[in-house]
Amino acid sequence: MYITVIILPLIGSLISGFGGRLLGYYGASIFSTVCVILSFFMSIFIFYEVGFCNTVCNISLVPWFTVGTLSVNWSFLFDSVTAVMLIVVTSISTLVHFYSISYMQSDPHYPRFMAYLEIFTFFMLVLVTADNVVQMFLGWEGVGLASYLLINFWFTRLAANQSAIKALIVNRVGDFGLSVGIFSIFYLFNSVDYATIFSLAPFFQNYHFVCFGFSVNSLTLIGLFLFIGAVGKSAQLGLHTWLPDAMEGPTPVSALIHAATMVTAGVFLMIRFSPLIEYSTTVLSTLLIFGSLTTFFAAMAGVFQNDLKRVIAYSTCSQLGYMIFSCGLSCYNVSMFHLTNHAFFKALLFLSAGSVIHALSDEQDMRKMGSLATFLPVTYSLMFIGSLALAGFPFLAGFYSKDFILELAQVSTNSNLNNKLTALACWLGSFSVFLTAFYSIRLLYLTFLNSPNMSRIHLSKLQESDFPILLPLVLLSIGSIFVGYLTKDFFIGLGTIFWKSSIFILPYHSNFIEAEFLSVKSKWLPFLLSMFGALLASFTNIVTLKLGYNFKFYTFFTFLINKKWYWDSIYNKIVIYPILLFGYNVTFKNLDRGFIELLGPYGLASWIPSWAVNIRRLQTGQLTHYIFFMILGFCLFAFLPFCLSNVVTFTFPVIFYLVLVFFI
C-alpha cells in the first residue's frame, strides 16, 4: 500500500499519456482520476497508521547505485511530515483532477494534460517520501520538469512558452544551490541518507569548511545552500519572479502547482532538514529575514495587481513567506500546519478563480468584472470563504495557523530575548496581515460586488459552472473551514506527540509556551489589522474617493507596485540582458566565432594558402635562383652546427628570423 500510493499516479500518467488516443476523453479522465483517488484513500490510511498509530515506516527497495562510500537506495520514508504532505498532495491533486474533467473538457490535448498532472503528482510524492537526499532531488527536479510541461501546456502561446522557460530556469538557479548543498552534505557526512545526516548533525556543530582561506561553519553552509534551493522552489524574495508569470498555464495547474504542492516543496525541504538547520543560528536568521521580506513584498505587490490569478499568485508568495519565516522561528510544526491550511484555501481560491474565468469566457482582468455575486452565487460564496480563510478570519483555517505564527513572532519581541530580527519579522508579518485582508477583500469587491464592467455579450452568457467544477470547490471550502480547527491540536497543540522524531526543535529555540501567555492586546493585533484591512478595502470600493487619485506620488507609488517593484525589469537590465549580451558578444562572437575559430579551422584555412603563395613564388623558374637557393641551403647546413655548438641561445632567434624572412 505504501509504495502503491506513489506508483499509482505514475501508472495513471503513463497510461493516459501513451494511451491517450485509445482512451479518449472519458477514458483518460476516468482512469487518471481514479488513480489519484485511490492514492488519496491510501494516503489517508497511511496518515492514520503513521500519524496516529506511531508506526513510522521505512521501505528500502533496491540499491540505486553504489560508488565507494556513496550508496543510494530506492527507499521510502513515511513519517509524520511525509504523511501530512501525502494527504495534502493527493487530496489537492484529486480535486484538481476532478475539476479538470470539466474545466479542460473542450481541450483537444486533454489526455496529455491529465498525464502531466499525474506525472506531477508522482514526482511530488517521490519528493516527499524519499528517505535520502538524492531521491528527494529526483522528485525535486521532476516537479520542476512537470511544472514546465504544465505551464507550457498551451504551447502555441508565446507567453506560455516564455513563462515556462522562466519558471524552469529560475528554479534551476535554486536547484544549483540545492545540488551544491547535497554535495557538501555528502562531503561532510559521507552519506546521503536522512537518518545518517540527522543523527550526525549535532556532532558537526563546530566543524568548519575551509575554502579559499575562509572558514565557514559546515552546517551553516549546508543550510544556506539548501535554503537557496528552497528560495527557488518556494518563490522567496530574489527568485520569486517566476511564480506570478507561471499563471500562464491553465487554472487547475495554477491551483495544483503554484498553490498547494510544488511551491511547498521548498518549505517541506526546510521542515525536513529541521534537525540540521536547528544547529545554525545564521540559517535560521536568514530564513526569518527572507521569509518576512517575501511576505511583506508579495502582499504589497498583491494589493495593486489587476489580474485575478496574479493577485492569488502573490498571496501564495506571501503565505510561503509566512511558512519560511515560521521555520526561521524554529516552529516547523506551525509552518507545516500553515502549509496544510494554505493548501486548502489557496486551492479553493485558485479553483474558484478558474470558475469565474470559465464563466467569463477566459477574462482574467478584474477591472472587467464586477457584480458577479448575482450571477454566480455559489462561486461567490465559495470564494468568500476562501478569501476569509486567507485573510485569517477567526475560526477559519488561516486563523489558526497564521495568527499563531504572528504570536510566536511576538513572543520573541516581547520577552527578554530582545531579538531585533524577530522584531522586524513581526512587524513585517503583522503589516502583511493587513495587506492580505486588503487585497482579498478588494478581489471580492472588484470581481463580485462592484457594478458590472464586462461586455454585454459576456454578461448574457454568464452561468454557473457545472458539477465537476463545483464539487471540488465545495469540498475545498469545507476543508478551508474545518481543517484548521480539526487538526490544530495534533499539529500545534501543546505537547503534541504527533510529529515524533520527524521534526526536531532545539529546547532553547522552542517558545510555544510563551505564546500562550502573550498579552491579550498582541493576540488581538492580527485580527484587528485584518479587520482594518477589510474595512479599508470596503471603504475604498464603496465610497468613490476622488481626491487621492491625482496625486503624483500616489500614482507613482501604485504604478511602481503594480509593476512588482520593478524586480523583473531590474533583473532583466542587470542580470539577464548583460548575460545574454555576454553570451552573444563575448563567448559567441569573440571566443567561439573569433578567437578559437582564428586559431582553429578558419585561421589555418586562411593562413596556409597565403604562406603557400609565398613558397610558390620562390620557384621563379630562373635557373640562377634555384642555384642560389641550393647554395644558400648548403651554407645554412654548414653554418648551423657551428651556431648550435657555440651559442645555443642565439640559435633559436636566428632560425626564427630565417623562417620569418623566408615566409615574408
Partner 1 sequence: MYEQLNYLSISTLLFLISVVGICLNQRNILIMLMSLEMMFLAVSFNLIFSSILLDDIVGQIFSLLILTVAAAESSIGLAILVIYYRIRNTITVELLTLMSG
List contacts with partner 1 (CB under 8 A): 615-624, 627-628, 631
Which residues are within 8 A (CB) of 450 and not within 5 positions of it... i.e. 6 or more apart? 370, 371, 541
Query: Bridge partners of 60?
Result: 75
Q: In angstroms, rounded to a whole number, what is the distance separating the alpha carbons of residues 314 and 295?
A: 9
Closest CB to partner 1 among 494 and 623?
623
Residue 64's SS3 state is strand
Determine how many CB atoms are found less than 10 A away from the CB of residue 134.
18
Query: Least separation, in Å, of the C-beta of 625 and partner 1?
Result: 9
Query: Least separation, in Å, of the C-beta of 633 and partner 1?
Result: 13
Closest CB to partner 1 among 581 and 631?
631
Query: Least separation, in Å, of the C-beta of 618 and partner 1?
Result: 7
Query: Least separation, in Å, of the C-beta of 619 and partner 1?
Result: 3
Closest CB to partner 1 among 520 and 613?
613
Query: Least separation, in Å, of the C-beta of 624 and partner 1?
Result: 6
Closest CB to partner 1 among 62 and 623?
623
Q: In angstroms, rounded to a whole number, what is the distance separating the alpha carbons of residues 464 and 637?
A: 101
| Closest of 344, 339, 311 to residue 325, by C-alpha | 339
For β-strands 208-211 and 57-67, DSSP reports them as unpaired
Instruction: To the nearest 10°, report the CA torsion of 134, 136, 138, 139.
Output: 180
Closest CB to partner 1 among 517 and 637?
637
Closest CB to partner 1 among 528 and 618?
618
| Closest of 144, 156, 280 to residue 220, by C-alpha | 280
Closest CB to partner 1 among 416 and 622?
622
Query: Least separation, in Å, of the C-beta of 628 and partner 1?
Result: 6
Query: Containing H/E element for 165?
Result: helix 158-189
Query: Least separation, in Å, of the C-beta of 632 and partner 1?
Result: 10
Backbone angles phi, psi at 466, to 5 degrees: -85, -175
Cα of first residue to Cα of last residue in the chain, in angstroms, is 82
Closest CB to partner 1 among 557 and 626?
626
Query: Least separation, in Å, of the C-beta of 627 and partner 1?
Result: 5
Cell of 94: 484529486
DSSP assignment of 231-288: HHHTT-TTSTTHHHHGGGS-HHHHHIIIIISTTHHHHHHHHHTHHHHTT-HHHHHHHH
Closest CB to partner 1 among 206 and 610?
610
Cell of 605: 584555412
Instruction: To the nearest 10°, report the CA torsion of 416, 421, 423, 427.
Output: -170
Query: Least separation, in Å, of the C-beta of 663 and partner 1?
Result: 15
Check if the beta carbon of residue 283 is closer than 8 Å to that of residue 223.
Answer: yes
